């Protein structure tokens, strides 16, 4: 994986590049950066060239590059132009949803397909989409808190995984705990190794997803969202599916917000890869 900083019209954007083949712009979620390697290896190994920017306010990309979802989307289009990429698939996770939706709606000539995974797709004013626990987590000594979580994930990954599932899933975590595999624990370690930005995360949670933007999307779209997601409720996925013409909705009954942990994670990954490979 190569990491660099591109000088774009919107400002400096840090990004990682990995793999070769058809281009996929991967937009990380909350508490992430271009160093987040949860989804990278499977996609890169499946024959795709991954471009993974640190979104505005995350990693080494300043928040001034794009404080709103629209500005962030335009900045991502600028990054693609700087890298001389004229066409890409977009995969967006969690709080990257508003940026991905704005990008697909505003720059249709750039986008050939869209995947929204556990993605925010409700208005910023929605009482469901902005739980106060997120704000509490990202205030105060956030950086120290994240480092301590990273240490705990290294020492007792199973305990951290169960706690993550308890906070972000409506499912019985005792059932999932018994079925956690070694690969799940490795994924937890990788997740907390990438660093986190309070400023970027707080800005993300103020982003909006207008109905008009969802309805304007004209590219093949796959929405993957667990019905028991406590962090980003399933109602947002239903809204996106109803408004995006021809979209597909994959809705596992369990899995919570972190679909890459626990039973069914491998199946979901393969479902996403199959969709990407089916795009014209």
Q: Compute the distance between CA of residue 235 and CA of residue 238 in angstroms, rounded to an integer.
A: 5
Mean pLDDT lowest for which of 1-10, 62-71, 159-168? 159-168
Mean of the per-residue pLDDT values for the chain? 89
- Residue 105: give the domain boundaries: 2-278
Q: Are 40 and 26 in contact (CB under 8 A)?
A: yes
Q: Compute the distance between CA of residue 55 and CA of residue 5 in angstroms, rounded to an integer.
A: 12
- Residues 6 or more apart whose Cβ sits within 8 Å of residue 254: 169, 171, 176, 226, 227, 228, 262, 263, 264
For residues 131, 101, 213, 111, the Cα torsion angle rounded to the nearest 10 degrees is: 180
Pairing, β 221-224 against β 248-250: parallel
The domain tally of the chain equals: 1
Span 178-213, pLDDT tens digits? 778 888 888 888 888 777 777 888 888 889 999 999
167 — phi, psi (to 5°)? -80, -35
Q: Are 121 and 240 in contact (CB under 8 A)?
A: yes
Q: How many angstroms separate the Cα of 95 from the Cα of each of 31, 178, 243, 270?
A: 9, 29, 19, 22
Average pLDDT, stretch 141-154? 83
Q: Quick one: what percent of the chain has pLDDT higher than 70?
A: 91
pLDDT at 128: 47
- Residues 6 or more apart whose Cβ sits within 8 Å of residue 49: 17, 18, 19, 20, 21, 22, 23, 24
pLDDT at 20: 96
pTM: 0.92
pLDDT at 30: 83
CATH number of domain containing 197: 3.40.50.1820
Span 214-260, pLDDT tens digits? 999 999 999 999 999 988 999 999 999 999 999 999 999 878 898 88
Q: Are 92 and 195 in contact (CB under 8 A)?
A: no
Q: Compute the distance between CA of residue 63 and CA of residue 23 in angstroms, rounded to an integer.
A: 25
Pairing, β 111-117 against β 48-53: unpaired
Per-residue pLDDT at 148 exceeds 80: yes
Per-residue pLDDT at 52 exceeds 80: yes
Mean pLDDT lowest for which of 81-90, 106-115, 265-274? 265-274
Per-residue pLDDT at 39 exceeds 70: no
Helix, strand, or coil (residue 19) = coil
Q: Which residue has the higher pLDDT, 36 or 240?
A: 240
Q: Compute the distance between CA of residue 202 and CA of residue 192 in angstroms, rounded to an integer.
A: 18
Q: Compute the distance between CA of residue 147 and CA of residue 172 in angstroms, rounded to an integer.
A: 28
Q: Which residue has the higher pLDDT, 98 or 30?
A: 98
- Element housing 51 (H / E): strand 48-53
């Amino acid at each position: 994986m190569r990491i660099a900083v591109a000088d774009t019209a919107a400002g400096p954007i840090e990004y990682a590049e990995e793999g070769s083949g058809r281009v996929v712009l991967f937009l990380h979620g909350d508490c992430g950066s271009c160093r987040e390697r949860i989804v990278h290896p499977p996609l890169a190994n499946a024959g795709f060239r991954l471009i993974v920017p640190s979104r505005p306010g995350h990693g080494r990309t300043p928040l001034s590059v794009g404080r709103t979802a629209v500005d962030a989307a335009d900045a991502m289009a600028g990054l693609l132009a700087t890298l001389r990429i004229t066409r890409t698939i977009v995969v967006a996770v969690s709080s990257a949803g508003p940026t991905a939706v704005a990008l697909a709606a505003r720059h249709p000539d750039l986008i050939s397909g869209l995947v929204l995974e556990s993605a925010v797709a409700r208005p910023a004013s929605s009482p469901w989409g902005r739980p106060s626990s997120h704000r509490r987590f990202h205030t105060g000594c956030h950086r120290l808190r994240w480092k301590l979580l990273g240490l705990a994930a290294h020492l007792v990954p199973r305990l951290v995984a169960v706690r993550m599932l308890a906070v972000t899933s409506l499912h019985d975590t005792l059932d999932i705990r018994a079925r956690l595999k070694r690969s799940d624990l490795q994924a937890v370690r990788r997740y907390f190794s990438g660093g986190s930005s309070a400023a970027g995360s707080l800005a993300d949670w103020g982003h909006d997803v207008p109905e008009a933007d969802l309805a304007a999307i004209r590219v093949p779209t796959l929405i993957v969202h667990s019905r028991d997601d406590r962090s980003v409720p399933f109602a947002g996925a239903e809204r996106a599916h109803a408004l995006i013409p021809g979209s597909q909705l994959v809705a596992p009954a369990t899995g919570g917000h972190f679909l890459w942990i626990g039973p069914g994670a491998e199946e979901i990954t393969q479902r996403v890869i199959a969709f990407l490979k089916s795009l014209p």
